[in-house]
Structure 1
């Protein structure tokens, strides 16, 4: 299996293949097509939810899972200091080519830096925790990187609708899904991602020492939320 299918696809698009397409496999059946162009959309094509996320960021920002730099570039445009990280070497190359000033290959769980005013996790970025149990571990890591008055901004979705025609799994939270990226004939390893409904996320956040505020919700059960530290 190819390790950096995401990076390969992003670099192909940058090289001029504007029709490039990812295929996203999961356990629910046919693979979904995802135009790679969606990683490069200009700010005027952002959804309302994504635009609100950008407008909410302040101070020194950590963009986690930054991909091709859509949000990092928007934050730089707002004259904010941004550190953009991704585990994909190819994605980081693309970000640098596109003008992201501080793009780094890094895994958030091993990342060490000074404090941030905002930590941003978009495109269901909180899901990198992989399982519902590990969200608390991710929040504990982010807590150590967040300024006392700082804010974590993230989006996620309630994917209960996926089970309209089938029984929810009993061995794991229903939002835990297995994925695989494919670009042309190249396939990544299977990996886990978790989509968490807002009520469950609020409970986890509360136990982890955060207030969880709903900033916006759209008609597709996708929501934008903010986490701020509770006073000691």
Structure 2
């Protein structure tokens, strides 16, 4: 299968290791992964802020850039939700490519039929289901199924896991007090697990959570689950 990697802005600029992890996992499974250099931002922040005219060209470029791939994968539930849910409403001609765009766990479990990717990670971890993955993509237990198949990994349930971490992109900027209170609750829940790592499908949320954990002196490290599946994070 020829797969296009949509790295997303946050990963491209701050967490390129997550993109490399996705490539390692898929190539280990025998698939060809390409990174088209023409890709740019998905436009989620513009769309959420009401700038439709500025978002449409980004949706059109995405559809043109990834038109020739059997599937498009991104290590970000929020950006995939923007493509799959937002693009067809903004620009109907993007619907066909949008339908072939997947968050990593969807591609592995639903499209490729794989749960055990051959990873090992001998650590205690917990998993935070981010809002877009949980409520828009409805990822369900797909990431958890992948993590449970990792050898020597101890997966601990996160209390009140479905509660938002308080990031929400521009929400954290526009509503800092509310965002901070939500973050404090999330960090307390993470501390209660005693986990060495907190995992998620969005590095944007992990950045927010990681900041809260660091400021409170909590040693738990944030890490994208793709890096676990690739055998990273040691």
Q: TM-score, normalised by structure 2?
A: 0.33
Structure (1 or 2) with the greater strand fraction: 1
Structure (1 or 2) with the greater helix fraction: 2
Q: TM-score, normalised by structure 1?
A: 0.33
